[in-house]
Every structure is written in structure tokens, then in C-alpha cells.
Amino acid sequence: MCRRKPLKVFSCFFIIRMSGGLRGSALGFVILRWEPVFRGERGKVIPDRAKCTGFVFHIEKGFTKMRKADVILKLVVLSLLIALGVVISPILRVEGMCPMAHLINIICSVLLGPWYSLLCATLIGIIRMLTMGIPPMALTGAVFGAFLSGVFYRMSKGKIILAVLGEIIGTGIIGALASYPVMTLLWGKEGLSWLFYIPSFTCGTLIGGSIAYVFLRKLAANGMLTRMQRSVGSAGYQDQPSTLSDALTIVALGGILWVVIKVAGTAFNLESPAWNTAAYIAPAAAAAAGLIYYRIKKGKEADAKTE
């Protein structure tokens, strides 16, 4: 007499799509049993449709609620970043350079993803154009870098430095080139060339990117960045500290020092040549310090391996 073994239900598996959009779920399960045949062959069976309908509906209902909560939280964070970007954008702003906007772009790209960052940069640009009389560069100098920053960050599996690089390429090069026909044809400005905005756009992204890199690097070092990403339903990455990242943090501090010196000079009317020179010496000194730190640490690591 053949003994029929009970059904074995293996654990369900969920495939989470982490491409920056909403979380999606693919529910699947396999039920295996021993076929009641003399050879004891094992095969797959299709579960009863009526019994599985309620189970699948219950699971999908739970995931729908989770997705709605993620979307609401993401929209709240997005709104806060938009408001913050509009408020702090006038700091150190000159025509063709807005460092604080690039800071918001990179933070939004890392926390929410490329599409949300693109939306954030677009809305900040529109609000600035309507309320502050900013030319269309508020859009051309923001949207490309915001999107590429998020794309580079996701493609590199969470490398913060590549998020900064995406902002530099998208704004410093693509955005600068796109601003020439926009400002010439739509704004009627004369005497421009295709390369006119590249120096100022690149300088602005380097300053804003330096601040964003130091800020996000500190969050990643204590695990706070990953927890923040997961709390809003985004992909969480572990960007572990290294000798290179520490050296880049030292270099990025030069951008922060430049901002501090410029803000202090504007606030206290410090226009002496020595003060203006200090604003450019600080980034150069930080770059030299970062290079020296990297060479010393690498030398110690090489000596430790040979011993």
C-alpha cells in the first residue's frame, strides 16, 4: 500500500524592485509533494485556485498599504527638500552658479532616487523663476545634474563620490551647454558662447558637491544613511569608509571652507585682498592635505602587508 506524504509548502519569496520607483512585489510559491506512485518520483503540483485567492489577496493588500506609506513619506521628504532648496538657494548665488541647489540635488538623489531628484530640481527651478526672477538657467543648471547624480549612484551600488560626479557632469557640462541656446534664444542675452557657463557651473557643483559629500559620508559612516533610505522605501546601500573616501572627505572640506570664508566676507563686508586670497588658499590646502593623507595611509598599508 502506498503511503501518501503530506504537502510541503516552502516559504514564500518576494522580489523587491529597487530601481528607485515604488516597491513592487512578485509573489510566488512552490508546493512539492511525493507523488503516490511506486517509484516515489517528486513533482510540482498546482495548488487549488480557490484556496490561494484569499492568501494572495491578503499578501498583496499588505504590500499595497506598505507602498502607499512609502509614497507618502517620500513626498513629505521631497516637499521638505524643495522648501529647503528654495530657501537656501540665494546663498552665494551669482548668475551661473548656485552651490546650494547642487547640494539639495545630490542629497535628494541619494535618499529618494533619480526620478524624485529630477522632480525636486524641476520644482525648485520653477519656484525660483516665479518668485525670484531667476532666468531659465534655474532649470537647465539643475535638472540634468540631479538626474545623472541619482543614476550614477544607483549604477555604482551606492558610491557617494559617483553621485557627486554625476552632478558635476550633468550640470557642469551638459547643463552648461544647454544653457547657451536657452539664454540666447529665449532670454535674448548676447555675447555668449557654448562654453560660456562651463566654468561657473563647474565651480558651483564642486562647492555644493563638496558639502554634500562630507554630509552624506558622515551619515554613511554610522549607518544612518542606510536607515534613512530604507525608511522611505528606497534602495539602501552600504558605502563602507576607506582610505580613498577619507582622503576625499579632507579634500571636500576645502569647499566648505570656501563657503564659510565667502559668507563671512559678505556678512562683515570683508573685501581685503588677503581675505579673498584666503578663500582660494583653503581649497588648495585641503586638496594637498588629502593627497598627503592618502599617500601616507597607503604607504602604511603596504608596509603592513609586507611584514
Instruction: Kindly tell me if the per-residue pLDDT of 129 is higher than 60.
Output: yes
C-alpha–C-alpha distance, residues 206 and 212, integer Å = 10
Give 196-234 pLDDT, tens digit per residue: 888 888 888 988 999 999 999 999 988 899 999 988 888
Least confident of 22-26, 72-76, 158-162, 240-244: 22-26
The whole-number pLDDT of residue 99 equals 86
Exposure of 65 by Cβ count < 10 A (0-12 exposed, 13-18 middle, 19+ buried)?
exposed
Q: Nearest CA to 68 among 219, 257, 233?
A: 233
Average pLDDT over residues 258-277: 82
Give 163-184 pLDDT, tens digit per residue: 999 999 999 999 999 989 988 8
The whole-number pLDDT of residue 200 equals 85
**Contact (Cβ atoms closer than 8 angstroms) between residue 94 and residue 65:** no
37 Cβ contact partners less than 8 Å away, ≥ 6 residues apart: 2
Measured in degrees and rounded to the nearest 5, phi and psi for residue 28 equal -150, 150
For the chain, the residue count is: 307
C-alpha cell at 74: 517620500
State the pTM of this model.
0.73
C-alpha–C-alpha distance, residues 32 and 29, integer Å = 10
C-alpha cell at 133: 526672477
The whole-number pLDDT of residue 262 equals 81
- Dihedral sign of CA atoms 61, 66, 71, 76 in order: positive
Instruction: Kindly tell me if the per-residue pLDDT of 293 is higher than 90.
Output: yes
Tell me the percentage of the chain whose pLDDT exceeds 90: 37
The whole-number pLDDT of residue 137 equals 86
Give the mean pLDDT of the chain. Answer: 78
The whole-number pLDDT of residue 94 equals 64
Average pLDDT over residues 54-69: 46
Q: 13 - beta bridge partners? A: 28
C-alpha–C-alpha distance, residues 91 and 45, integer Å = 66
> What's CA 34's distance to the chain center, in Å?
50
Instruction: Give the pLDDT band (50/70/90) at residue 54.
Output: very low
Average pLDDT over residues 13-21: 35
